[in-house]
Amino acid sequence: MNNALVTFDNVQKNFGKFVAVKELSFEIYEGEFLAIMGPSGCGKTTTLRMLAGLEAPSSGKIHLKSQVMNDVPPHERDTPLVWQSLALFPFLSTRENVEFGLKMRGVDKAERKERALKWLDKVGILDFADREISTLSGGQKQRVALARSLVMEPQILLLDEPLSALDANLVIRMQAVLTNLQRELGITFVYVTHSQSEAFAMADRVIIMSEGEIAQIGKPKDIYREPANQFVAEFVGRNNILSGTVTSLEKSTALISTSSGEFKVPTNSVQLTKGQNTSFVISADLVHISLEKPAGINVVFCKLISEEFVGSMVTLFLEDAEGQEFKVQMQERELSKFDLSGGTEIWLSWDAKSAHVIREY
Amino acid sequence: MKPNRTLNIILTTYVILIFVFIFSPIIFSMIFSFNSQRFPTIPLGHFSTEWYQKILADPDVWDAARNSLIVSSCTAVIATLLGFCTAYSDYRYNFRFKGPYLALILLPPTIPLIIMALAMLAWFSKIGMSGQIYSIVIAHSVLTAPFAMAVIRLRLSQMDPDLEAAAWNLGGSEWATMRHVIIPFCKPAIFSGLFLTAAVSFDEFAVSWFVSGLNKTLPVLILEIVQGNIDPQVNAIGTFVFLISMTLVVLAQIFFASRQMKSF
């Protein structure tokens, strides 16, 4: 593992004066599931389209292994894409859709049929092989689109927000289908999405993009617990972000004074100086609540503003006397031990190890 | 909206009257084509196919029918091809002066036919191409291509913009994509365009009359007969022309409708 399959080397893409992708450099490893995530307009889809040859980089180079791909036309690349719009051919049957790529590659009729049926079986829609595309449901169409790309048996599969049109239940099911396929086939998946839950649920590594640049690249857990900057911390969500001034420094911890009080934060590898302004985050699920004032430091007194239920998880929205907003995420069954209502005053606390200094401010 | 009875009756009557105005001359012409009397008067004589036998025996009518058939089928193919190319160039490419380019293509049907016909005649005479059967084909192709373009352009506008790129992505070259994706997708509109342009060309009189020379088409022949005397043969030829045009238009509509129903 960790052999680079694709390398982006200072790739830039301009549309007129607009810079869609800015001096992008990263590697895609063989056999990994890489998610590229960001808000709309961050350049994630443009990056994917450049990989498929549908957009030409304005400058920089894209390598596939040792070959420079910049001038290879899309139809000579082996980079099938699963489209957000699916882009199935409406005038062809399910099987003919799956056979399309093989037909373009000049595979003979009998083999085309055999391979198409094999892949329709693999994605679980063999029974619909001779149906018209228009008669299929959203989830079935999704599987056809997947089979149509996978039948090419590529080294790398590109996916552009393929699940965005499906309802929540189906999304979870399709996520399982995708991760299983990826593990089983060992193909590199590059998955573009604006959905954090999709990216974090499936990917080995996640790239977070903002305004055409990489904001952070890393394992989902690292990005979640240790966002590199304010943008990632906010984008990933359910994070408490506090800003303040460094008042004293010890070996591996700093004391940071904020409007909500003074907090002890591990510095990790971040270079801090006394008197410097900085920010730190605490994931909402690492904050504890209690009705009595807990002993120790890293304690805030808050008023409950509102609650949000998502299945078994609850997010509490709170505010301290200074108007600083806090979020706490916990199991519903744990919360039911407390008798809370809007306006209830509670104490928040967290382990000093849970906090994480944001590198840039 | 609440259905208004009076308004409904008025509108229905209005529609019926329009159809009566449009179709009664044609229906009368059909009736008289089977009438034994020479003059179109009431009461009618007895049922007769005399006029049909006459036109079938007339080599002039056969020549005109052959000319009409050649002209309309050649025109249909050329005009639909032109229409497809312009519709696709509009769909696929963005370029400077695209507005004027499209306006220029859509211009011919807006020019009064008589002016168009005179201009065509003058131009063909100048370059020594007048009076030929292909002169009519060229003139009609210019005249009818916008109709084909309009239906094909409408169809292309219903196409998922990713469809073409999806075909490239799956290994289709630009030509293969044209053949296996664009043309199959536009097929209903292409057929619709073929029948529509054939129908317009088959009926067209003014331009044909000016540029045809000795190669008369059916509408030109009808005028010549009517100019000479009153001859019920005209009713028989007219019925024949009407039925052919109607069939073509209906076929065009069938393809048009099937396409609407299967739009995605």
pLDDT tens profile B121-158:
999 989 888 778 888 999 999 999 999 999 999 999 99
What is this structure's pTM?
Answer: 0.79
pLDDT at B244: 87
A84: which chain B residues are within 8 Å (Cβ-Cβ)? 162
Residue B243 placed within a domain: yes
Using one digit for the tens of pLDDT, what is the confidence trace for A323-344? 888 888 888 888 888 777 777 8
Task: Give the Cα separation of A163 and A85 in Å (integer).
Answer: 10
- pLDDT level of residue A257 (50, 70, 90 thresholds): confident
Query: Closest-CA residue in chain B for A89?
Result: B163
Would you state the structure tokens that stand for residue B134, as one six-digit string?
């292909």
Residue B118 to residue B148: CA distance in whole angstroms: 24
Q: Is residue B35 part of a domain?
A: no
> What pLDDT score does B264 carry?
40
Set of chain A residues whose Cβ sits within 8 Å of the Cβ of B171: 75-76, 101, 104-105, 152
Q: Domain tally for chain B? A: 1
In a domain, B250, yes or no: yes
Mutant choice from B168, B169, B182 vs A, greatest count of A C-beta within 10 A? B169
Percent of chain A with pLDDT over 90: 45
The confidence score (pLDDT) of residue B90 equals 92
Q: Where are the alpha helices (DSSP H) in chain A?
A: 44-52, 94-104, 109-122, 138-150, 168-185, 196-202, 220-225, 230-236, 332-335
- Residues 144-163, chain A, touching B (beta carbon < 8 A): 148-149, 152
pLDDT band at B220 (very low <50, low <70, confident <90, very high): confident
In the predicted model, what is the mean pLDDT of residues B56-76? 89
Identify the CA nearest to B51 among candidates B204, B247, B203, B222: B222
User: A199 to chain B nearest CA, in Å?
Assistant: 24
Name the least confident of A162-171, A328-337, B38-47.
B38-47
Contacts 24+ apart (CB under 8 A), A54-60: A54/A81, A54/B165, A54/B168, A54/B169, A55/A13, A57/A11, A57/A12, A57/A13, A57/A21, A58/A12, A58/A13, A58/A14, A59/A10, A59/A11, A59/A12, A60/A8, A60/A9, A60/A10, A60/A11, A60/A12, A60/A23, A60/A24, A60/A25
Instruction: Compute, in degrees rounded to 10, the torsion defined by CA atoms B93, B95, B98, B100.
Output: -150
> Got the DSSP string for B203-227?
H--HHHHHH-TT---HHHHHHHHHH
**If you average pLDDT over residues A314-326, what whole number do you get?**
86
Residue of A nearest to B174 (CA): A75
Please give the pLDDT value at position A102: 95
On the 0-12 / 13-18 / 19+ scale of CB atoms within 10 A, B228 is exposed
pLDDT at res. B2? 64
- Asked if residue B26 belongs to a domain, the reply is no
In the prediction, which pLDDT does B78 show?
97
Q: What is the pLDDT of residue B1?
A: 58
Residue B259 clears pLDDT 70, i.e. is over it: no
Task: Look at residue B263 in the predicted model and tell me its pLDDT.
Answer: 44
Contact (CB, 8 A) for A128 and B222: no
pLDDT band at A297 (very low <50, low <70, confident <90, very high): confident
Beta pairing, strands A188-193 & A33-37: parallel
Give a yes or no: residue B34 inside a domain: no
Please judge whether B262 and A90 are an interchain contact, meaning their C-beta atoms are less than 8 angstroms apart. yes
pLDDT in tens, B71-105: 999 999 999 999 999 999 999 998 888 889 988 88
Interface check A81 vs B, CB under 8 A:
yes
The CATH number covering residue B238 comes to 1.10.3720.10
Tell me the ipTM for this assembly: 0.81
- Please give the mean pLDDT across all residues of chain A: 88
Q: What is the per-residue pLDDT for B72? A: 93
Tell whether B16 is covered by a domain: no
> What pLDDT, in 10s, does the model give residues A72-98?
999 999 999 999 999 999 999 999 999
CA-to-CA distance for B139 and B119, rounded, in angstroms? 10
Q: Please state whether beta strands A59-64 and A67-68 pair in parallel, antiparallel, or not at all (unpaired).
A: antiparallel
B162 closest CB neighbour out of A85, A100, A101: A85
Q: Which are the contacts of A241, defined by CB distance < 8 A and separation ≥ 6?
A: A230, A233, A234, A279, A280, A281, A358
Does residue B110 fall inside a structural domain?
yes
DSSP structure string for A10-79: EEEEEETTEEEEEEEEEEEETT-EEEEE-STTSSHHHHHHHHHTSS--SEEEEEETTEE-TT--GGGS--
CB–CB of B131/B212 below 8 Å?
yes
Most confident of A184-198, A308-322, B35-49, B233-247: A184-198
Q: Is A185 exposed, middle or buried (0-12, 13-18, 19+ CB in 10 A)?
A: middle
Q: Which domain holds residue B195?
A: 59-257
Residue at B126 is within a domain: yes
**How many helices and strands (H and E) does chain A possess?**
9, 20
